[in-house]
A and B are shown apart, each in its own frame.
Chain A
Amino acid sequence: MISERRKWREHIPLYLNGSLGEEQRHAFEKILEENPQLRREVAEFAKIHDLYADFQQQLPPPSERVFRRVEAAIRTQEQAPVAKPAAQPFRRLGKTLAGLFAAPRLSWALVAVQLVIIVVLVAGRGQTPVFRTLTSTPQAVHPAAAVQVVFQAHAAEAQIRKVLLAIGASIADGPTAEGLYTLRLADKTNIEQALQRLRQSPLVRFAGRVY
């Protein structure tokens, strides 16, 4: 009942401004005859409507001068060179990035990536660096049982083998680009004595400890 009354009240301004369809208008007028409260409200709104209706009748005729101004403005805009939207792709990219960074999903993704980087860095701290100095030891050989040696360029494979067998060593790593070999010494071999023998050999250019 209340909604019905509200519906008819809402019709009042539309009834006065002529927006109601014919069927609705007839129905409204029928209700109006039976409802003095609605009639009173229509009369109140009608005063407002009449005021505006007066102004409606007194609208000035379309101005020729203003239309000439409109035409001139249109000509100016149509003749103006069409500016290429150079900044448009950047603006679009900027908007896209702004949108991405504003999205909570991306923020969480960035946090996850940062965490992965931190874990990798922390976990990798104890490992041997991937770079090696000339005298650094390969992982498989304990420094206490290893020496490094560079043979003369003219040393033959048979001669090198003879030297290694003489001191009970085997090649653990090498040669590197610089010709450096890492030798693993047999157990209980005295490193200093082994180095001395190597240094005395005319086939050896350099012999030293592994650090």
Chain B
Amino acid sequence: MTEETVREREKRLLEATARKDRAAFRQLYDMTYGQVRFFLIRKLNDENLAEDVLVETYSAVWLQAGTFRGKSRGLTWIMGIARNLAHKALRGRRNHRSLEDLAQLANGKHPGDEDFSRKQVLAKALDVLSDKHREVLELVFFHGMTYPEAATLLKVPVNTIKSRIFYAKKSLLKTFEQMGVQADDI
């Protein structure tokens, strides 16, 4: 399945959800659950709170699907809802979930494992980044968004996304240096 088809499918399922098609809604949930959950856990640093916001997000998707105009990607629209609800839940508290913790949660590996340590160094470096830089890296590399999609979600100009992503990489390389790690070794 090509990326374009994924986007079209998201759009079709959202349109069907707007017509109160429960089967389509379930497919949309299955399709996007992992990404939205990852996004919320990273944002909220609290799995229980992330689950509550996830439930709120999908309830809102069901109720507001009729307002989706198809101008952005379906996933971007859903994550926009999730992001707003997460900000509401945070109420000024900001503490994103460490990728290290997520790595441990994901595959049960420990810092002593060879495969894990490489990932761990990179994960630590990513966690040192500012929220803005880390967020844009995640949107582009984890969620596979284009610059305009990330710009829509974060409500910033496309050029801001472009500059943030390059500053994020620059900052990451600087962090490697400070950690005494050669980027080539990662």
- Give complex CA distance A19, B123 in Å: 24
Q: Determine whether A39 belongs to the interface, using a CB cutoff of 8 Å to chain B.
A: no
- Give complex CA distance A52, B42 in Å: 13
- Give complex CA distance A66, B56 in Å: 11
Partner of B63, one of A18, A58, A74: A74
CB distance from B4 to the nearest CB of A (A): 9
From 53 to 70 in chain A, residues with beta carbon under 8 angstroms from any chain B beta carbon are 53-56, 58-63, 66-67, 69-70
Task: Count B-side interface residues using an 8 Å CB cutoff.
Answer: 43
B122 partner residues in chain A, CB cutoff 8 A: 47-48, 51
- The answer to whether B63 touches A55, judged by C-beta atoms less than 8 angstroms apart, is no
Interface of A is mostly: helix
A48 partner residues in chain B, CB cutoff 8 A: 122, 126, 137, 141, 169, 172
CB distance from A3 to the nearest CB of B (A): 13
Partner of B38, one of A18, A49, A59: A59
**A10-B162, A17-B141 in contact; A47/B55 too (CB < 8 A)?**
no
- The answer to whether A18 touches B173, judged by C-beta atoms less than 8 angstroms apart, is no
B169 partner residues in chain A, CB cutoff 8 A: 44-45, 48
Residue of A nearest to B173 (CB): A44
A62 partner residues in chain B, CB cutoff 8 A: 29-30, 33-34
Q: Determine whether A195 belongs to the interface, using a CB cutoff of 8 Å to chain B.
A: no
- The answer to whether B54 touches A66, judged by C-beta atoms less than 8 angstroms apart, is yes
**A52-B141, A58-B107, A74-B59 in contact; A47/B34 too (CB < 8 A)?**
no
Q: Determine whether B140 belongs to the interface, using a CB cutoff of 8 Å to chain A.
A: yes
From 11 to 42 in chain A, residues with beta carbon under 8 angstroms from any chain B beta carbon are 13-14, 16-19
* A interface residues, Cβ below 8 angstroms from B: 9-10, 13-14, 16-19, 44-45, 47-49, 51-56, 58-63, 66-67, 69-70, 73-74, 77
Further pairs besides A62-B33, A70-B59: 5, Cβ < 8 Å: A19-B3, A48-B126, A55-B99, A60-B37, A62-B34
The 3 closest A-B pairs by CB, nearest first: A59-B34, A62-B33, A58-B106
* B interface residues, Cβ below 8 angstroms from A: 3, 26, 29-30, 33-35, 37-38, 51, 54-56, 58-59, 62-63, 99, 102-103, 106-107, 119, 122-123, 126, 137-138, 140-142, 144-147, 162, 165-166, 169, 172-173, 183, 186
